[in-house]
Chains A and B, each alone.
Chain A
């Protein structure tokens, strides 16, 4: 199966999905009622994140066209990079004009919840029909009793490692706990095949592994009451551990942005890093035989579990939210419902080759996830992740702390020996308080 190309996967996926649906295997429960008629003559503007995989966007656009044909709702679909969507979404909320629907990232809808369409009926319908949302998906969609956004999934990140190097370091399987994981990193370093994890201002990668490690030790920026509790023994323990890890890293990680680890991995300089599926995809499709070889010799694994005893990953969760200023809120809801239905979502997932981890566990049976075992670890990203406001609320403060790299800088200070872990935790807590104590 692992030698299948994308086209084969699509064919197999579509065929299998069709077969399963007709055989009644897809867990379609007692269909909840859905009575929503788009406004007559409705026309909506949709702004979504920019594609990294063209086939994924093409499928999305194709399905959008089908929706337009079926419902008579005109849809204009635009795509922009996620970093640009964040300020635009906020400005649209403020001035009351712009796209009717935005598919963006993370805590954005929680910055202006009162400006958004109540999506509770859509979320309830999809949740009931497909057996419920992941808890973290619920956290990213629901404010109080009301759903203000519909989670689309996550462009997940996992451990990316070289199989042969891991074996040479004495591990047959990728470690699932922190002590073993440290041993692996130390052995990799000793063998001259070091790990490399970004410690610079890398929005995706550095936040991804630093938040994971902090939460894995029980540290967190805030508690349930949104009080800053970052300066804690658990945080210091996380930093102490990170310091030992960083000693095994290749030189220069403090300067890395989101693309450095991709380059270093595909050049064979590092044997372990935190990344999405892109390194493998690029390596596999490369015309350079060396990179093909690396893709063949690599695999993905979930992040190891720390003393808290449960997965604590941080993932880039995608969310769709409509604005109250839209003249066609019913058309917006209908569009989301249509695109999120399993039939559409599955076909889109196949086209994206498993780029987005689904928000509804019922969608995990998509054959794309098992078409190559190397894709499978990405499937359960939402099952394993916490939200980036953990354990408090999502909103301006959580977005500010992340945007200001408070946690990443704390890890960098401790790992580079600029501050003792204790001082680094204290300094970061002071910085976080500036956002939470407003």
Chain B
């Protein structure tokens, strides 16, 4: 049997590289690097570029020059822009409130012991599963000024005597697009809230029942507080999605009639891509950022766990 003689291990001071290799904070930074690179490259860079473009007079295919805040001054005097700000705010606030109300109601219902519970839950998810453009096209037919199924049914039932002009009158168009957005957004709210409801321990309800709490009191003092972190997250996402909605409006009205349904996102696209004025389109998109930041701040505050949720005092 051959014995291979090894020289005894030498005691050496670790090289500089080895020291770095074993340093936790260096390693941590190293492992964070790919994620940071992805974030910088795919999120921070486009965002920065968007902000920069908003400060230039770039046209599609042209090289722009820095013009400071001129795009914003010009937009401040543009009544179509202000109309789109109003539309966006109105659309977001109304659609989000209704989505929350109906979503919460559905979540509470689905949380009860119902027959065919899983089938019902699957059905509730349907609007969310259908691609937005497809559901938008369906709504486009439902709202058609000549072929609307709603108008047809109401006329057959003798309720009205002429077709409803859903998308042709400014306020009708606003209500109609909001209704379509609500239909699409409810599943997300209700299913997520349902998940939140299921994390609430039944023992809390049992204890409350023993204390004689009525259903409303149980909802008000157990469900709502326990659900509030989830509500904050859900509503933030819901508000963000509604605020930046594009496909629905673009398919249904392209911002018409007379810009009554133009959201900031659709106006930005129209000015930047269709009209070719990339700088101004970017400025409109930039103008959305403060609203979005406000929503994120709200979510950040909502996400903070309160002490009382862990049994402490606030």
Where the two chains meet, the residues of A that have a C-beta atom closer than 8 Å to any C-beta of B are 83, 86-87, 89-94, 111-112, 199-201, 250-257, 260, 263-264, 267, 269, 396, 399-400, 403-405, 409, 412-413, 416, 418, 427, 431, 434-435, 438
Contacts and interface: CB of A to CB of B under 8 A. Distances in A.
B257 interface: yes
9 contacts: A112-B61, A253-B145, A255-B145, A255-B256, A256-B168, A263-B146, A399-B275, A416-B258, A431-B78
A253 B57 CA distance: 35
Nearest to A269: B146
A255 B277 contact: no
Contacts of B173: 255
A400 B145 contact: no
B255 interface: yes
A256 B63 contact: no
Interface in B245-264: 253-259
Nearest to B61: A90
Given A200-B256, A254-B257, A427 B273 contact: no
Contact of A416 (B59, B162, B169): B169
Contact of B256 (A87, A254, A396): A254
Interface in B180-238: none
A92 B253 CA distance: 30
B60 interface: yes
B277 A251 contact: no
B270 A403 contact: yes
Nearest to B58: A94
A200 B60 CA distance: 25
A399 B276 contact: yes
Contact of A267 (B61, B63, B147, B271): B147
Contact of A431 (B60, B80, B169, B257): B80
A247 to B, nearest CB: 14
B258 A409 contact: yes
B257 A200 contact: yes
B74 interface: yes
Contact of B275 (A256, A403, A409): A403
Contacts of A255: 143, 145, 165-168, 173, 253, 256-257
Contacts of A93: 61
A90 B168 contact: no
Instruction: Name the 10 nearest CB pairs between A and B, nearest first.
Output: A252-B145, A90-B61, A255-B167, A403-B275, A254-B257, A201-B254, A255-B168, A403-B274, A200-B256, A254-B168
Given A91-B60, A111-B276, A254 B258 contact: yes
Contacts of A112: 61-62
B309 interface: no
A413 B256 CA distance: 11
Given A111-B59, A267-B146, A251 B165 contact: yes
A252 B273 CA distance: 27
B50 interface: no
A2 to B, nearest CB: 29
